[in-house]
């Protein structure tokens, strides 16, 4: 089934030759992961947990955008045959999670698309034509952030590819058998510090940082990781169990 999926992917995404290739402005933005996504914005509410009296849940919905490395399931290496210069595939998504403010744990779900530049767009237009689509779901662990104010979190779950573009028409159609891709990932939440290494309230005037996995190293948020001037939450995803 996996081999069949790669063949379909290579055929469907041959549309890239006609529609234009999505390229990362800075390949380093992918880091060392399969997919790097950024929260473009976020809407948050706090509501009572109907199943746990006295517990408040943080409910958030975010549009995300980022890039998948060539050779990963969301950017099949078969594309190199059709588009030798491709560097990455653009991925957009909308995710929703509901996290307990007591434990920092909760479910996450959403939809995603791998998109290319639609015919008629200028070369600098944001990619907008879906060629792979599906859903994702799993669980998030934000306990470090919620309980200890450490700006890191994790996620685990699966992407399910349900649709691919028809190479003849460019229209999305359902796959005969959905493809399920287990994944895990790390959230890096931006923060700012003053000259004494004390946390300060985030704004667009301070340099912002992400925290590395060693809980010590600071990684500067780059201009390509801003959304209208605001530093974004960065989600690094790798595939496999």
Provide the token pair at 29: 């933005």
CA 241/CA 58 separation, integer angstroms: 28
Provide the token pair at 123: 């070369």
Beta carbons of 24 and 38 less than 8 angstroms apart: no
pTM of the model: 0.84
Beta carbons of 133 and 145 less than 8 angstroms apart: no
At 99-153, the pLDDT tens digits run: 999 999 999 999 999 998 888 889 889 988 898 999 999 999 999 999 999 999 9
- CA distances 233 to 41, 109, 230, Å, are 9, 17, 10
- CA distances 102 to 31, 99, 178, 226, Å, are 32, 9, 36, 30
At 139-187, the pLDDT tens digits run: 999 999 999 999 999 999 999 999 988 877 778 999 999 999 999 999 9
3-state helix, strand, coil in the chain (%, to 5): 15, 50, 35
Helices (H), 67-133: 79-82
Q: Closest Cα to residue 155, out of 168, 166, 169, 145?
A: 145
At 188-211, the pLDDT tens digits run: 999 998 765 666 765 667 789 999
Query: What is the structure's pLDDT at 64?
Result: 98
Beta carbons of 188 and 234 less than 8 angstroms apart: yes
Query: What is the structure's pLDDT at 209?
Result: 94
CA 159/CA 1 separation, integer angstroms: 16
């Amino acid at each position: 089934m996996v081999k069949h999926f790669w063949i379909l992917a290579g055929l469907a995404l041959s549309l890239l030759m006609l529609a234009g290739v999505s390229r990362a402005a800075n390949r380093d933005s992918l880091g060392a992961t399969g997919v790097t996504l950024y929260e473009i914005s976020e809407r948050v509410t706090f509501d009572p947990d109907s199943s746990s009296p006295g517990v408040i849940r943080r409910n958030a919905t975010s549009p995300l955008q980022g890039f998948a490395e060539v050779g990963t399931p969301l950017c099949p290496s078969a594309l190199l045959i059709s588009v030798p210069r491709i560097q990455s595939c653009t991925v957009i998504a909308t995710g929703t999670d509901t996290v307990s403010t007591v434990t920092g744990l909760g479910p996450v779900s959403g939809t995603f698309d791998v998109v290319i530049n639609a015919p008629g767009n200028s070369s600098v237009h944001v990619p907008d034509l879906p060629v792979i689509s599906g859903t994702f779901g799993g669980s998030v662990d934000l306990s470090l952030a919620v309980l200890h104010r450490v700006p890191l979190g994790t996620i685990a779950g699966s992407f399910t590819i349900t649709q691919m573009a028809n190479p003849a028409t460019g229209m999305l159609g359902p796959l005969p058998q959905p493809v399920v891709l287990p994944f895990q990932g790390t959230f890096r939440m931006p923060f700012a510090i003053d000259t004494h290494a004390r946390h300060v309230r985030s704004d667009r005037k301070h340099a912002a940082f992400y925290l590395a996995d060693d809980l010590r190293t600071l990684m500067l948020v780059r201009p390509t990781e801003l959304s209208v001037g605001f530093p974004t939450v960065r989600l690094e995803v790798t595939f496999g169990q």
